[in-house]
Each structure stands twice: as structure tokens, then as C-alpha cells.
Amino acid sequence: MIKLENISKIYKFDDVVIEALKDVSLTIEKGEFVAIMGASGSGKSTLLNIIGCMDTATSGTYTLDNDVISKLNSNGLSKIRNSKITFVFQNFALMEKYTAYENIELPLVNRKVSFAERRKRVSEIAKQLGIEAQLDKLPKQMSGGQQQRIALARALVSGADIILADEPTGALDQKTGIELMELLRNLNKDGKTIILVTHDPIVASYAKRIITILDGRISQ
């Protein structure tokens, strides 16, 4: 499903050059649950952002299904993000002035999905994640765990097959973090491909494969 070949990423800030990724090659099959581990600044989030089409490689080839991602323009990348890939962030990234329901349905609004279909999908996802009682609340009226479930529901409602999670338990207490990881494990059992970035070995233990990044290279 995902194939990276000799991917490098260089950032330039005035006279400063940072080589975030160095000749990374990696294959992830459909239905895998993969954890990417590494210290802060190792390049793991950069790798996740390239896989998620939120950033582009400086050199190398990225292929997703039959699409050569490294050859797509911004419109092509946007289409991939809207159809095949979805993100779950550490800070939840919810719209503070929108209710939980409105946050969840936002990807469908952007796709111009009908009101009836949006209502049906949000209802199904809310029931699956046990958040029906939260739908009329604003983010500030919910706990961190509830907000992360809303963020997960927003990710799932699009129907994308690939879920990318960047430190998804970082803002949660241990008990709530474990609950979230159990949800991700169950989604993987249902066929979703999950790739997450973490520095926590307990979180990484839920994955079926662990990839370690060190100074921009895969070390293990």
C-alpha cells in the first residue's frame, strides 16, 4: 500500500540546513498497525507528514497504491488527503466554536456530502465510539479523553482506509490513553491501516511492527 524509496527531506532556514530525513526506504502493507518511534527531532513526525501528504520529500519516491505521490501537485495531494488518509493529532485540533457534531461532520461538509448522509454517518460513528451524549457540547465542555474521541470520530467519518496518529495519547492520562489505544487496535482489526508516531513504549506495544528513527534514518 505504502512504499517509500530513498526519501530525504531537507529544510533550509537562511544559512541553516537541516536534514530531517536521510535516504529512508520503507514499505507498509494494507491492514498493518505500525508504530514509528524516536527521540524528539529524530525525524519521525516529518516521516509521518510525508506519508500523510502534509509535506513533500526533497528527493526520493513515494508510492501510495498506484499513485506516485512524489509526482503530484498540490491539488493531487489534497485529493489523496481527502479520500485515502486521515489524521489524529496530539492536541485534538478541534474547532473551539463548533459543537462535537459540527467538528465530526466537517470533512463531509468540505466534500459537499448531503445533510441526510452527514447525519447518518456522524450518528453511526458516534455510536461506535460511545460519544452520543457529547455531540451537542463544545470542546471546552469535554474532558481530554472525550475530545480525543471526537477527533477520532472526525477522522473515521471520512471513510479513509489509512489513519495516521501523531502522539495521539500525549495529552491524555494513562487510563484514557489505554482506552484510545484499544479503540485503534479494534479499528485495525476491522481493516484500517494505522501508523502512529510515539515516544512511549507502552503505546508502541499495541502495534504489530515498530520502526525506530535515529537522526533521520531508520535504525531498526
Please give the Cα distance from 114 to 110 (Å, whole number). Answer: 11
The pLDDT of 149-160, averaged and rounded, is 88
The whole-chain average pLDDT of the chain stands at 91
pLDDT tier at 9 (50, 70, 90 boundaries)? very high
CATH number of 2-218: 3.40.50.300
User: What pLDDT does 60 receive?
Assistant: 95
What pLDDT digit, counting tens, does each position of 58-115 carry? Answer: 999 999 998 899 888 888 888 888 788 998 888 888 999 999 999 999 989 988 899 9
- If you write DSSP's letter for every residue of 172-213 in order, what string do you get? S-HHHHHHHHHHHHHHHHTT-EEEEEES-HHHHTTSSEEEEE
Please give the Cα distance from 128 to 147 (Å, whole number). Answer: 15
User: What pLDDT does 15 receive?
Assistant: 84
User: What pLDDT does 185 receive?
Assistant: 93
What pLDDT digit, counting tens, does each position of 35-55 carry? Answer: 999 988 899 999 999 999 988
Please give the Cα distance from 31 to 87 (Å, whole number). Answer: 16
